[in-house]
Amino acid sequence: MSGSAFRELDLHPALLKNLDALGYTAMTAIQSRSLPPMLAGSDLIGQARTGSGKTAAFGLALLQKLDVRRFRIQSLVLCPTRELADQVAAEIRRLGQQLHNIKVLTLCGGAPIGPQIGSLEHGAHIIVGTPGRVEDHLRRRTLALGDVNMLVLDEADRMLEMGFQESLEAIFAQLPVERQTLMFSATFGGDVKVTAERIMQDPVHVEVEAVHADSRIEEHFYRVADDGERLTVLRLLLQQIRPTSALVFCATRRDVDEVAAALGRHDFSALPLHGDMEQKDRDRTLVRFANNS
pLDDT at 144: 96
Rounded to an integer, what distance in angstroms lies between the CA atom of residue 151 and that of residue 126? Answer: 10
- Please give the model's pTM, rounded to 2 decimal places: 0.76
- Give mean pLDDT in consecutive 10-residue pieces for the chain, a chain of 293 residues: 75 93 89 95 90 91 94 96 91 92 93 94 96 96 96 93 92 96 89 92 88 67 86 92 91 92 92 86 78 69
pLDDT at 204: 96
3-class DSSP state for residue 199? helix
Residue 174: phi and psi, rounded to 5, are -95, 0
241 Ramachandran zone, left/alpha/beta (phi>0; psi -120 to 50)? alpha
Q: Which of 208, 209, 216 lies closest to 32 in space, CA to CA?
A: 208
Q: pLDDT digits over 171-213, tens only?
A: 999 999 999 999 998 888 888 999 999 999 999 999 987 655 5
pLDDT at 1: 46
Rounded to an integer, what distance in angstroms lies between the CA atom of residue 148 and that of residue 151? Answer: 7
Rounded to an integer, what distance in angstroms lies between the CA atom of residue 91 and that of residue 106? Answer: 12
pLDDT at 233: 92
H-helix or E-strand spanning residue 161: helix 156-161
